[in-house]
Amino acid sequence: MIDPLRNVSRRPGARLRVVLFFALLDPWSSAVNAQEAFHLDPGRETAFLGGGILLNGAAMLLPIDADAMWSRYQGVDRATLPAFDREAAYRWSFPAHRASNILFYSVLTLGIGGSALAYGNGDVLPPLAITTESLLLSAGMTGIVKGLVHRPRPLVFNPDAPIDMRRSREGYLSFWSGHTANTSAVTLSCAALIDRSDADPGIKAAVWAGGVAIPVLMAWLRVRAGRHFPSDVLAGCLAGALIGLTVPYFHRPENAN
């Protein structure tokens, strides 16, 4: 029997995103009840979730010739890179890469699950739907842009990085940073959700602070690891923030129609 999740198992969080997608397409009898802060609509949720899944699927199909890219960039002197990004080509840290992955999965778990618990009102579906939609759309748009731009990662120019990584397909998917974009999308979606809940003002302020600080930490780790240029993580933060704030906005009752 063919495993429908087989082709997504290589991407960080891809399997989790697909499982959440199908879990959220349950009967909507309890989801369409009036919500004080956010409103779910079957048509809109299907469009957002389906759109995210389609974007992720399309991104996986975009071709890239890693050998040709390696031939193009292997002779480039990192000292000639733009000044804003140049320092990243001198960075290489596997512990920083590992820490960024731990932070990423922690954000997914605590962000999606924690927002459902903190949102209150006894209904976990609105926060689950909104944060998952934000993640899917952010990941899908990131994958499309990466697959079209084919920007080399800083490690491609760094002789300290393993040669197999420098020549791999993943070595040419630098712009923009998926870790920072997806982290920003989830954390700011959570902040927008909790901001309209009955939570204490101090909790709301802390969540907003975390929504900004955590993506910044992620951005630093990705640059320190030699996986992204500063411009990659800056663009990722901005793209993820836009998605993370826009999705909850369209779920407000006053904006639902």
The one-digit pLDDT tens for each residue of the chain (257 residues) are 444 444 444 455 555 554 444 444 443 333 333 346 888 999 999 999 999 999 999 999 999 999 999 999 988 999 999 999 999 999 999 999 999 999 999 999 888 887 777 766 667 888 899 999 999 999 999 999 999 999 999 999 999 999 999 999 999 999 999 999 999 999 999 999 989 888 889 989 999 999 999 999 999 999 999 999 999 999 999 999 999 999 999 998 887 66
The DSSP line for 78-145 is GGGS-HHHHGGGG---HHHHHHHHHHHHHHIIIIIHHHHHHH-TT--HHHHHHHHHHHHHHHHHHHHH
Whether residue 2 lies inside any domain: the answer is no
pLDDT of residue 120: 60
Q: Establish if 5 belongs to a structural domain.
A: no
Structure tokens of 88?
């990243």
- Domain assignment present for residue 181? The answer is yes
Q: Looking at the domain assignment, is residue 245 inside a domain?
A: yes
- Tally: H helices and E strands in the chain: 11, 0
Whether residue 91 is contained in a domain is answered as yes
- Residue 219, domain member (yes or no): yes
Domain that holds residue 62: 10-255
> According to the model, what pLDDT value does residue 21 have?
45
CA nearest to 12, candidates 88, 89, 100, 92: 100
In a domain, 203, yes or no: yes
Residues sharing a CB contact under 8 Å with residue 246, sequence separation 6 or more, in sequence order: none
pTM, to two decimals: 0.84
How far CA 99 is from CA of 210, 215, 222, in Å, comes to 17, 13, 9
Residue 16 CA, distance from chain mean position: 12
CATH number at residue 47: 1.20.144
In a domain, 135, yes or no: yes
Q: Total structural domains in the chain?
A: 1
Coil, strand or helix: which one is 32? coil
